[in-house]
Amino acid sequence: MRDTFHRIVLSALIAALAACTSSANVGGDGGGGGGKDGGGGGETTTGTGGGAGTGGAAGAIMGTGGGDADGGGAGDAAPGDGGKAEAGGPHTPVPSLGCGKTNPASGARTIMTGGMTGHYNVTLPANYNPSTPTPLGFGFHGFNNPACGPVSPPGECYGFAALPAITVYMKSLQAGWEGQPEPLAENLQFYHDVLDVMKNEYCVDLARIFIAGVSSGGQFIEQIACRDGASLWQVTAVSAYVDKGADTNCMGTPPVLVTQGATETTVDVQTPIFFAKRNGCSPTPPATYMQNLADMKAAFNMGKADYRCMDWDGCTLNPVRYCISSQMTYGGLTHGWPMVGGKLIADFQSTLPK
């Protein structure tokens, strides 16, 4: 009788232990989906908590694991180093009103702006699709030069049309872009009028609008970056000094590339410092600045076209990159758009979040 009682009790204990083990395994397997860094649910002690580990698996698919609170958080897993959208998620284009409109115009175009006729050129990438939102770039010429693009002199905005984007090249309403109050106000209106045309007639990715300018055009993009910085993906200033008023009531802090020539005297390191201040970077140039400048001056004296780029330190808002070129441009010096200008822009844009 006593043996029978003992056998009944032992059988009940074994059954209870098996049930507990089965319940715990449900939680552990579910949480394990997050992989090495994101398996937060696996650390839980109940099936409910571990089951949320499915979220960890989703984080791992994004490329960095599901370790944060959204990837297995219900299992009380400790936060990890992944799960952020900018780290692994693809860019989601923002289509303009022009998406779906076929056969958009390319080449030379005109527009009425402020009672004047404005001239600009549009270049479409070879793979342009009217249903696929495409980045949009503006290239602004130097003082008293023709528009960039098909009619530009050698080196002016060189390589810009090769970027994977719709590119636009406007001709200033006067010799330069940035005189105040004119032609700055007129040219700003001109730019916004053309920008509206591009958004309405072409399939533009509104989250990928960028601008670049050389000399007078470089000062002009400083003004645009101040006023429209919140809607710009990236900005490039080439051989530009800090223009008056370009730091007043600014909105947004887009990533900035500054390129300058090794022999420039009226243009110096104050331009990247100006942008670095806006983007929350260190107030002093990178440690390699003086050596890079000396190297590029030596390269120029030897007739060698070369360049050095450096990223500004400590940027808390958006990055600033500074490049120095030794290539002789117009006037026998280095003031102007270098032949590697388009490549430098492409290289910098490749480092930005997708």
pLDDT of 265: 78
Burial class (CB in 10 A: 0-12, 13-18, 19+), 311: middle
Token readout for 280 is: 């929350």
- What pTM does this model have? 0.75
Q: How many CA atoms within 13 Å lie on the side-chain side of 306? A: 14
Strand order in the sheet with 307-311: 107-113, 116-123, 166-171, 134-140, 204-214, 234-238, 256-261, 320-325, 307-311
Contact 139, 157 (CB under 8 A): yes
**175 token code pair:** 């010799």
The pLDDT value recorded for residue 104 is 96
Distance between CA atoms of residues 129 and 107, nearest Å? 17
CB 262 within 8 A of CB 338: no
Low-confidence stretches of the chain (pLDDT < 50) are 1-87
CATH topology of domain 107-349: Rossmann fold (3.40.50)
Q: Where in the chain is the domain with CATH 3.40.50.1820?
A: 107-349
Angle among Cα 38, 41, 43 to the nearest 5 degrees reads: 100
Quick one: which of 212, 223, 213, 214 has its CA closest to 179? 223
pLDDT of residue 323: 98
**Residue 189 to residue 205: CA distance in whole angstroms:** 21
Residue 150: predicted pLDDT? 61
pLDDT at 155: 62
